[in-house]
Chain A
Amino acid sequence: MKNCEYQQIDPQALPTPTPTPTPTPLPQHGHDSDRREEPRRPRRKWQVFPGKNRFYCDGRIMLARQSGVLPLTLGLILVTSGLFFIFDCPFLVKHLTSCIPVIGGVLFVFVLITLLQTSFTDPGILPRATPDEAADIENQIDNTGNTSYRPPPRTKEVLINQQVVKLKYCFTCKMFRPPRTSHCSLCDNCVERFDHHCPWVGNCVGKRNYRFFYTFIVSLSFLTAFIFGCVTTHLALRAQGGKGLVFALQESPGRYPLLTNPFTAVELVICFFSVWSILGLSGFHTYLVASNLTTNEDIKGSWSGKSGEDVTNPYSHRNIFINCCSVLCGPMPPSLIDRRGFLPADESAQTGSADIELPTQATKSEINVCTQGTKGLLESATLPPLLSTSCPQGKPQTAQTCADSPAVSSDLSPELSKSCGVRHPSSFTGATPSPSHPKNCSKKSKHAALHIPNPAFDDPLTPTSSDAGSSSKARGHQGDSITPLH
């Protein structure tokens, strides 16, 4: 009797109206089974988030579990820009104009801010269906098969702007995916308007961060081209003063020490190879923006009419200007996962058990990542061979593995990691050595198989640096096998 808590139907007590103890003015408390006896402290929703993401600053910042090569991207940008400002700018300011460091500075700041925003923003993750929702959807689907084998993929057809679109059922998230939504196997989340998973920024690119990503690559191509131009001018001016370009590279007239010019040569080489890949990528994404397509749709050829039917993109506004505006300047959608909200008492227990029961079922998204790898191979074949040599060897294998076993993600990930892991030492300097890769990848695949909700959340503030090298198993970024750097 003493423990009966009476509570009227309070419309303000959302989301669940079941009676919860509210003895103190603090928000609703959650607890896990280990700490029932201790005073309850509120838990935030990011702490029980089922996808493979990492959260920092108490849920304000989020990253994919595998940060990919984000540290490398950041490092290259910082180092090359740093070298530019230290060694090239003083000379150019003296001989040309002082606008150069200003322009360079503005571009550099733009690049850095948009890169961090792309990496740390929620790409448009759809929260998983609640158990009630999932049960309701199940009831609506005719369940003819038995549960001993994986049931066939469930699809639902809808008519969008007079175009038939198939919505697929996501077994992990237990819901029918909205149009243009895809499940990313690396992050284990359904992402709205899924473009691709970018290892260079260590996050998926989707509805909410596509504009940041686009601004990043456009400003990066300007920055790369700018630094390339400045470095060329610098060397040309020095060569004029001396006995030729080689002299300018080898010796150091004037007040700079010998070290100056080798760095300039390094910058020149990096910029030369980066400019082409980044410009190509920017051009490709400009085309996508103008036709309101995603990389995913472009690769799959969803709207290109390959099947012979009269298919057109139902999402396009049929006007390039409107397409661009709607993609880049449209209203900013909110984050749907409410990272910093507090957990109600009942839901924390429910979420935990529901997640442990969920096996990693196959979704079609691994194919998205792999096909992007194949497309990247085709694109990188046209690009300078410096850094693409390592990747094409990896990509056909990944494409192969994908074709053979598109079914299970846990089978796929060790294969991918093995095929790509061996390639890493040749492609990246400063990556972890290859013998550790298979171990890291197999550990990750075990985690994926068990699908324990928070394996990385035990200590969310220590990013796993070993993830950096091995995680490039998803080389899903077309044309970006080359360092994006100037």
Chain B
Amino acid sequence: MAETHSLQDLQQPIISSKVFIQRDYSSGTICRFQTKFPSELESRVDKQQFEETIQTLNNLYAEAEKLGGKSYLEGCLACLTAYTIFLCMETHYEKVLKKIAKYVKDQNEKIYAPRGLLITDPIERGLRVIEITIFEDRSIGSAR
């Protein structure tokens, strides 16, 4: 009985709170998140680390939305085919979104999950916020 209880305590995550990193609109409507370090995470994760994560995400989104020769070419080609190529081809944006999903997963596995945090991919929140879930810190003193 006691074993099962402690096992349950160890492995069932309890959400303590959630922090939302809002969008930064100072450069327009491009997807950018605020890099301000929230106070709730002060005890959990290094400020430098956190800012690096957010900055990398911002750079990836900027890459997705970049206006350049390649995106214009894609757009013109799409226009000439009455946009039917969108049905068969994966767009540049979608490719970068996959990169972002992989990056978020990586960061979670390496840095945030060991500290009892979980970053939700912003695309799952409509690119409005980065949701960081803070779990109750039960790893102190428990055997792992």
Q: Interface of A with B (CB < 8 Å)? A: 1, 4, 6-9, 11-12, 14-15, 17-19, 109-110, 113-114, 117, 126-127, 129-130, 132-133, 136, 158-161, 165, 167, 175, 178-180, 192-193, 211-212, 215, 314-315, 322, 325-326, 328-334, 336-338
The stretch from B19-27, B42-50, B52-60 touching chain A is B19-27
The listed residue (B18, B82, B93) touching A132 by CB distance below 8 A is B18
Residues on B with beta carbons closer than 8 Å to the beta carbon of A179: 25, 28-29
Q: How far is the CA of A443 from the CA of B7 in the complex (A)?
A: 55
Rounded to whole Å, the gap between the CB of B83 and the closest CB of chain A is: 6
With known contacts A6-B8, A161-B27, A161-B28, A325–B67 Cβ distance under 8 A: yes
* The 9 residue pairs across chains A and B that have the minimum distance between CB atoms: A329-B75, A11-B108, A127-B126, A336-B126, A113-B82, A6-B11, A158-B25, A329-B72, A331-B93
Are the CB atoms of A9 and B135 closer together than 8 Å?
yes
Minimal Cβ-Cβ distance residue in B for A136: B20
Q: How far is the CA of A178 from the CA of B129 in the complex (A)?
A: 11
The listed residue (A9, A175, A333) touching B113 by CB distance below 8 A is A9
Contact with A along B70-101 (1 / 0, CB 8 A): 01101110110011101000011110010000
With known contacts A17-B133, A161-B28, A211-B79, A4–B118 Cβ distance under 8 A: no
Residues on A with beta carbons closer than 8 Å to the beta carbon of B26: 158-161
Residues on B with beta carbons closer than 8 Å to the beta carbon of A8: 11, 13
Q: Interface of B with A (CB < 8 Å)? A: 4, 7-8, 11-13, 15, 18, 20, 23, 25-29, 64-67, 71-72, 74-76, 78-79, 82-84, 86, 91-94, 97, 105, 108-109, 112-113, 116, 118, 120-121, 123-129, 131, 133, 135
Are the CB atoms of B15 and A328 closer together than 8 Å?
no
Are the CB atoms of B105 and A12 closer together than 8 Å?
yes
Rounded to whole Å, the gap between the CB of A190 and the closest CB of chain B is: 9
Are the CB atoms of B91 and A18 closer together than 8 Å?
no
With known contacts A136-B18, A165-B25, A336–B127 Cβ distance under 8 A: yes
Are the CB atoms of A334 and B97 closer together than 8 Å?
yes
Rounded to whole Å, the gap between the CB of A203 and the closest CB of chain B is: 15
Residues on A with beta carbons closer than 8 Å to the beta carbon of B116: 9
Are the CB atoms of A11 and B105 closer together than 8 Å?
yes
Residues on B with beta carbons closer than 8 Å to the beta carbon of A14: 118, 120-121, 124
Minimal Cβ-Cβ distance residue in A for B4: A1
With known contacts A11-B109, A127-B126, A133–B131 Cβ distance under 8 A: yes
Residues on A with beta carbons closer than 8 Å to the beta carbon of B4: 1, 4
Listed by A's residue number, 17 A-B pairs whose Cβ atoms lie within 8 Å are: A7-B13, A15-B124, A15-B125, A18-B15, A19-B12, A110-B82, A113-B84, A160-B26, A160-B27, A193-B29, A325-B67, A329-B79, A330-B71, A331-B66, A331-B75, A332-B75, A334-B97
Rounded to whole Å, the gap between the CB of A177 and the closest CB of chain B is: 10
Given contacts A6-B12, A329-B76, 7 further A-B contacts (CB under 8 A): A1-B4, A11-B112, A133-B128, A215-B82, A328-B79, A334-B91, A337-B126
Question: Which of A126, A161, A333 has the most chain B CB atoms inside 10 A of its CB?
Answer: A333
Are the CB atoms of A326 and B113 closer together than 8 Å?
no
Are the CB atoms of A17 and B83 closer together than 8 Å?
no
Are the CB atoms of B93 and A334 closer together than 8 Å?
yes
Are the CB atoms of B75 and A325 closer together than 8 Å?
yes
Query: How many residue pairs, one in A and one in B, have C-beta atoms under 8 Å apart?
Result: 145
Residues on B with beta carbons closer than 8 Å to the beta carbon of A18: 13, 15
Residues on B with beta carbons closer than 8 Å to the beta carbon of A192: 29
Residues on A with beta carbons closer than 8 Å to the beta carbon of B123: 334, 336
Are the CB atoms of A4 and B94 closer together than 8 Å?
no
Are the CB atoms of B126 and A212 closer together than 8 Å?
no
The listed residue (A129, A193, A331) touching B92 by CB distance below 8 A is A331
Are the CB atoms of B13 and A9 closer together than 8 Å?
yes
Q: How far is the CA of A109 from the CA of B80 in the complex (A)?
A: 12
Residues on A with beta carbons closer than 8 Å to the beta carbon of B7: 6
Residues on A with beta carbons closer than 8 Å to the beta carbon of B67: 322, 325-326, 330-331
Residues on B with beta carbons closer than 8 Å to the beta carbon of A127: 125-126
Rounded to whole Å, the gap between the CB of B64 and the closest CB of chain A is: 6
The listed residue (A7, A175, A332) touching B93 by CB distance below 8 A is A332
Are the CB atoms of A114 and B93 closer together than 8 Å?
no
Residues on A with beta carbons closer than 8 Å to the beta carbon of B76: 329
Rounded to whole Å, the gap between the CB of B143 and the closest CB of chain A is: 14
Residues on B with beta carbons closer than 8 Å to the beta carbon of A4: 4, 8, 12
Residues on B with beta carbons closer than 8 Å to the beta carbon of A1: 4
Are the CB atoms of A11 and B126 closer together than 8 Å?
no
With known contacts A11-B108, A160-B28, A332–B86 Cβ distance under 8 A: yes
Are the CB atoms of A331 and B11 closer together than 8 Å?
no
Minimal Cβ-Cβ distance residue in B for A329: B75
Q: How far is the CA of A481 from the CA of B102 in the complex (A)?
A: 49
Q: How far is the CA of A215 from the CA of B78 in the complex (A)?
A: 11
Are the CB atoms of A114 and B82 closer together than 8 Å?
yes
Are the CB atoms of A332 and B91 closer together than 8 Å?
yes
Q: How far is the CA of A113 from the CA of B7 in the complex (A)?
A: 58
Are the CB atoms of B121 and A329 closer together than 8 Å?
no
Are the CB atoms of A331 and B65 closer together than 8 Å?
yes
Rounded to whole Å, the gap between the CB of B37 and the closest CB of chain A is: 17
Q: How far is the CA of A4 from the CA of B124 in the complex (A)?
A: 28
Rounded to whole Å, the gap between the CB of B72 and the closest CB of chain A is: 5
Q: How far is the CA of A14 from the CA of B120 in the complex (A)?
A: 7
Are the CB atoms of A328 and B75 closer together than 8 Å?
yes
Residues on A with beta carbons closer than 8 Å to the beta carbon of B118: 9, 11, 14, 17
Minimal Cβ-Cβ distance residue in A for B114: A9
Rounded to whole Å, the gap between the CB of A474 and the closest CB of chain B is: 25
With known contacts A11-B109, A215-B82, A178–B75 Cβ distance under 8 A: no
